[in-house]
Structure 1
Amino acid sequence: MAKHNIILTKQGKTVKGTIQLTGSKSECNRALVIGALSKGKVKVENMSDAADAVTLKTILDLQEQGVPPLMVNTQVVDEHGAIIKSNGPTITQGRTVSHEINIGPAGTAMRFLTAYLPLLNKTITLTGSERMQQRPIGVLVDAMRKLGSNIEYVKNEGFPPIKIHEGFAQQTNRISIKGDISSQYITALLLIASSLPQGLTLEIEGELTSRPYVEMTLAMLRQAGIQHTWDANTITIANQIFAETALLVEPDWSAASYWYSIAALSDEAELFLPGLTSYSLQGDSVITELMANFGITSVFKDGGVYLTKEPKPVQRKIFDLKECPDLAQTVIVVCAALGHEASFTGLETLKIKETDRILALQTELAKIGVKLIEKGQVYKLDCSEKQIPQRMFVNTYDDHRMAMAFAPLAILIPKLEVEDADVVEKSYPAFWKDLIKVGFEVTPVIQ
């Protein structure tokens, strides 16, 4: 598929307007799995239009319906490129028991489906894009094997694709898992816990990374009638039945972070983001506190949040992003653009995201003369040679957050060319259209 580049320009450094954000990808993906596990008793409201959520919904819906047994050598492809195809197929007593699911670049779907699909008692190969096949899945596969799943690696040990064989039978109700890995592994196990015949006790070893995401998962399960206990480092969920309810997906705080970034780089900002609340389940709502350091005031009223900018020197020197790693690119780019030599911790998971986000940040920030220096688990900005060019090309590395974290630089750089603009569909498809609403010009590059 050809990549479509765009050029961003912005006249003046004032931004004003109202932006209606899509539903949270994180909340929506959890809600979709809960809905599937509940056999329809839990409904999902305000479905996100992020490509990852649409992909996951497509796959879950097809699994519920059952893949037609006579789909020989055909493919079902959703609008975002996820492929659900039959493998021939193998038929036993008139039903399909073997097929393949290609989730493309949808990382959350890969983790959640690795835990969910074994419960369906089907033989399924789960694969993804080239980058997805480089992202580790071994910790979760090991946990699922201990629980009783028969899972094998199709290519490389510890990485997708994986083949999930039918015949799941729970072997234990107690699993230990490291806390400093992706919280999506932990969430995947917690989501299926109440559907396991023996329930699940999950022991978290060491410090828990991205704790707010785990808390979000448990809060949503509780809304759906699933109770838990969390004592020290142990979470226990018994076998339970879901309640009939609806899970309302809040607008996406991760998407909101880019508007905080835009406000921070502006001279004057007055933005309203409807639907966001001060009591959000989303850990990325901490962006309100982080951006207060840059003079951004958040006022919750009229059913949303108002952002305003006031001149303020940045004082904070250390940002711990352990509990909100998806905000790292946003915060680091703002600091770099403002010439603020801050240090950052809690970035351990960034190297195994859609791209190696540390390397990507280092490469792109170098284009404005800024260095991101790694010293153990601490990263420090060196802005001593910072310069704002007249034109800059931003490589996005197939990473939606690279595109959106660097886009606000158009306020400072007269012509900002962004590679592969369509990459934002993964989490925020309307991003470029929303930029136009507040005065940015978005011009396609003619190839």
Structure 2
Amino acid sequence: MSKNALVSFKGTKNINTEIQLTGSKSECNRALIISALSKKLVQVKNLSNAADTVTLDGILNKLGVESNELGEDSKLKTASSELVDVGPAGTAMRFLSAYLSAKNGNFLLTGTERMKQRPIGILAEALKTIGADISYAESEGFPPLNITGPFNQKTAEVKIKGDISSQYISALLMIAPTLPQGLTLEIEGELTSKPYVDMTLDMLAEVGIQHSWNGNTITIEPQPFEAGTLVVEPDWSAASYWYSIAALAEEAEIALPALKDKSLQGDSQIQKIMKIFGIATNKTETGISISNLGLSLDTNQVLDLKTCPDLAQTIVVIAAALGKNMSFTGLETLKIKETDRIAALQNELAKIGVTLTEDNLVYTLNTDELHFPEKVTINTYEDHRMAMAFAPLALLINEVEIEDMQVVEKSYPFFWEDLKKAGFEVSVK
């Protein structure tokens, strides 16, 4: 049975604390796949304790390391399939779709009921074009997937839409150096979340995998991994909630050790975005610190979140709570995440009198009826980011009840404990 968190903040809203964040889920999940593809030549340090990463690590350990050489003769002939259940881990579903296609065995790749509603067809069809043996076990274009590997490579050239999910592209790029012909990937249309593709290529480069990127085409030749270690940086997505807390507090000085101001993670853009709300980021000897300067810049601009959609809920809630009638673009992918995040935001913001409306892919807040009740109950829709985006409202509302508090385990298991370190009161209902 799920439990709820009752969050409040008593006393002066002056926050001075140090928070040690978990490793980046995005970096960890890529590092784990790269390590497995390298047959453990590549080691991973500072592994995240996020549920998604724990799930992927457990699956890869269970599958074990064996030859990923492609060829019809090496296929398993048995009709039985090994069940691979990612639960709610979307990144694991995308990355494993490609990884298992290049691995010896028969697999049924599945997840939660919500996962079965999240499209995978674009990636699966791209893999089939290359030569993967993939079929849909239930609904066309959606998980579960029947996968038999390794596949015989038919072509080194494949096209894929760039405006749906960068994880499709990253999944293909990571297996590319293990393919006999390598891979030339043509990205059709605008590329969503380009920093995540950059992250994948940068991490591959750290272990010896070179690429070329000309226009909308990325090419990776067949090549071996070099022995090495991928050290995972703390999670900038998790840091975003502390920027939110700083923005809603009266005063704040929050130290975040080991974060780098120049990072592989696209969500490090939170540093620049939060300047709009008067939050400064300072480099320290051990990492960074963030502080509330009490200043607010012009918020009448349209903020494009295309390259960092995982920050959207945090930033939209901050703007709403501060009474900023801001507009946003680049939110198209939010509808196919853990939940329909646009609908979820609209439903929950209405509880404080705020509307979020869409007009030709531009989303605009109206805070004219903004009010803070004594208590508000927030539905999380099985989405970790809904819980963590709304919890900081306890700085403005006497009591915030967050339903299904365990959802934070997906990316930030110690979120509630860290809130307590900062002076929040958190009890379980």
For the aligned pair, the TM-score class normalised by the smaller chain equals over 0.9
Q: Which of 338, 341, 352 does residue 336 from structure 2 map onto?
A: 352
Structure 1 residues 259-408: aligned runs within 5 Å: 259-317=242-300, 318-408=302-392
**Deviation of the 1:303 alpha carbon:** 2.0
Alignment partners' CA distance in 2, 1:6 and 1:250: 28
Further displaced range: 315-324 or 104-113: 315-324
Distance 1:374 1:92, change over 3 A: closer
Q: Give 2:14's aligned residue.
A: 14
Distance 1:410 1:32, change over 3 A: same
Q: Give 1:79's aligned residue.
A: none
Q: TM-score, normalised by structure 2?
A: 0.96
Q: Describe the SS at the equivalent of 1:194.
A: helix
- Does the Cα contact within 8 Å between 1:8 and 1:443 map onto a contact in 2? yes
How far does the alpha carbon of each residue in 1:309-366 deviate from its partner, in whole angstroms, 9 at most, with x for none? 1111341321100000000000000000001000000001000000000000000000
Q: Which of 113, 135, 151 does residue 134 from structure 2 map onto?
A: 151
**Structure 2 segments unaligned to the other structure (5+ residues):** 67-74
Matched, 1:441 2:409: no
Alignment partners' CA distance in 2, 1:167 and 1:299: 48
Alignment partners' CA distance in 1, 2:76 and 2:155: 29
Alignment partners' CA distance in 2, 1:275 and 1:358: 32
How far does the alpha carbon of each residue in 1:113-139 deviate from its partner, in whole angstroms, 9 at most, with x for none? 000001112110000001000000000
Q: Give 2:72's aligned residue.
A: none
**Deviation of the 1:166 alpha carbon:** 3.4
- What letter is aligned with 1:324? C
Alignment partners' CA distance in 2, 1:205 and 1:316: 33
Alignment partners' CA distance in 1, 2:17 and 2:110: 41
Percent of aligned pairs with the same amino acid = 58
Q: Give 1:63's aligned residue.
A: 63
- What letter is aligned with 2:319? C
Q: Describe the SS at the equivalent of 1:307.
A: strand
**Deviation of the 1:387 alpha carbon:** 0.6
Q: Describe the SS at the equivalent of 1:57.
A: helix
- Does the Cα contact within 8 Å between 1:44 and 1:248 map onto a contact in 2? yes
**Deviation of the 1:98 alpha carbon:** 2.0
Alignment partners' CA distance in 1, 2:411 and 2:394: 21
Q: Which of 167, 175, 178 does residue 195 from structure 1 map onto?
A: 178
RMSD: 1.4
**Deviation of the 1:97 alpha carbon:** 5.7
Q: Give 1:88's aligned residue.
A: none
- Does the Cα contact within 8 Å between 2:163 and 2:191 map onto a contact in 1? yes
Matched, 1:105 2:88: yes
- Does the Cα contact within 8 Å between 2:136 and 2:145 map onto a contact in 1? yes
Structure 1 residues 86-165: aligned runs within 5 Å: 98-165=81-148
**Structure 1 segments unaligned to the other structure (5+ residues):** 67-90
- Does the Cα contact within 8 Å between 1:111 and 1:188 map onto a contact in 2? yes
Q: Describe the SS at the equivalent of 1:120.
A: coil
Q: Which of 208, 227, 243 does residue 244 from structure 1 map onto?
A: 227
Alignment partners' CA distance in 1, 2:283 and 2:242: 15
**Number of positions where the alignment pairs a residue of Structure 1 with one of Structure 2:** 419
- What letter is aligned with 2:4? N
